[in-house]
């Protein structure tokens, strides 16, 4: 088994894999919920990282993996989307936007990019959600959770999404709950839960809740 040296020019770069980001489609659009902790080994580097990138008023991208990789490529994607809009006089579809991103990073496959992002938006075919990563994967889906805390988040969302026809309020609560549970059990996730809702007119930032406050709130509800 090849050993990766953790010093010298060949050393592995430390990444933001410690994270929980999730997004799911529902009747009234897409909910995007993320945590805000950045870790470097066992050290918490920041509790206030913005892991949702606002590509344009109707497209969002989430950040997992290398922060620089994610924000750089998604900003480049924003530029491409704007050029598309100007040339074709209509908004770019979520499928096309995610395809552009996937094709951009595919050229760097194997060169050490680390990016696991969800492209979320609303276009003329309705709500759109794609998972794109630096390995070259691009998958369409109704629900994705990415990062070290993703398993805990899946547990909550999978059980919560069983009921059909969630209201916006219920869907937001579900997303918030899922991230909270992930931060509860995963050491590498924490800070605040940033929640966004994408609907036909675009996205809006629903809330930013500190997980410690959420903890108190949920404990009180249990009692």
Partner 1 sequence: MSYDRAITVFSPDGHLFQVDYAQEAVKKGSTAVGVRGKNVVVLGVEKKIVAKLQEDRTVRKICSLDDNVFMAFAGLTADARIIVNRARVECQSHRLTVEDPATVEYITRYISSIKQRYTQSNGRRPFGISSLIVGFDFDGTPHLYQTDPSGTYHAWKANAIGRSAKTVREFLEKNYKEDMESDTDTIKLAIRALLEVVQSGGKNIELAIMKRDESMKMLAQEEIEEYVTAIETEKQKKT
The sign one gets for the Cα dihedral 155, 114, 188, 49 is negative
Q: In terms of CB distance, is 80 or 207 closer to partner 1?
A: 80
44 binds partner 1 (CB under 8 A): no
* Inter-residue contact 27 to 165 (CB < 8 Å): yes
Binding of partner 1 by 71 (CB under 8 A): no
Size of the site for partner 1 (CB under 8 A): 8
- Catalytic position from the list 19, 20, 62, 183: 19
Nearer to partner 1, 28 or 99 (CB): 99
- Name which position in 44, 68, 76, 96 contacts partner 1 (CB under 8 A): 96
Residue 127 CB neighbour total at 10 angstroms: 21
CB 182 within 8 A of CB 153: yes
What is the rounded CA–CA span in Å between residue 217 and residue 110? 45
Shortest Å, Cβ 163 to partner 1? 31
Active site residue 48: no
Provide the β-strand partners of residue 29: 26
100 is an interface residue for partner 1 by CB under 8 A: yes
Tell me the CA end-to-end span of the chain in Å, nearest whole number.
52
103 binds partner 1 (CB under 8 A): yes
Q: Is 28 in the site for partner 1 (CB under 8 A)?
A: no
CB of 32 to partner 1, least distance (A): 22
| Shortest separation between residue 92's beta carbon and partner 1, angstroms | 8
Q: Tell me the sheet residues that pair with 53.
A: 61
Give CA–CA dist 172/22, Å, rounded. 12
By beta-carbon proximity to partner 1, the closer residue of 128 and 175 is 128
Q: What are the phi and psi torsion angles at 117 (to 5°)?
A: -130, 155
Minimal CA–CA distance to 35: which of 189, 149, 152? 189
Contact between 17 and partner 1 by CB under 8 A: the answer reads no
Residues with active-site annotation:
19
Chain residues in the site for partner 1 (CB under 8 A) = 88, 92-93, 95-96, 99-100, 103
């Amino acid at each position: 088994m090849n050993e990766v040296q953790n010093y010298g020019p060949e050393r592995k770069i430390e990444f933001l894999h410690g994270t929980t980001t999730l997004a799911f489609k529902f009747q009234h659009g897409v909910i995007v919920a993320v945590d805000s902790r950045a870790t470097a080994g066992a050290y918490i580097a920041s509790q206030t990282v913005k892991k949702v990138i606002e590509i344009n008023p109707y497209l969002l991208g989430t950040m997992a993996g290398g922060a620089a990789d994610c924000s750089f490529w998604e900003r480049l994607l924003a530029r491409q989307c704007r050029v598309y809009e100007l040339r074709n006089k209509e908004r770019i579809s979520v499928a096309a936007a995610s395809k552009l991103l996937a094709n951009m990073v595919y050229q760097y496959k194997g060169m050490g990019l680390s990016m696991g992002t969800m492209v979320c938006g609303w276009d003329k075919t309705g709500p759109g959600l794609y998972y794109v990563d630096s390995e070259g994967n691009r998958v369409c889906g109704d629900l994705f959770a990415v990062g070290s805390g993703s398993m805990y988040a899946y547990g909550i969302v999978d059980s919560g999404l069983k009921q059909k026809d969630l209201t916006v309020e219920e869907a937001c609560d579900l997303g918030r709950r899922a991230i909270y549970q992930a931060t509860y059990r995963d050491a590498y996730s924490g800070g605040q839960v940033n929640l966004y809702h994408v609907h036909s007119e675009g996205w809006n930032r629903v809330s930013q809740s500190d997980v410690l406050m959420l903890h108190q709130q949920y404990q009180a509800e249990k009692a």
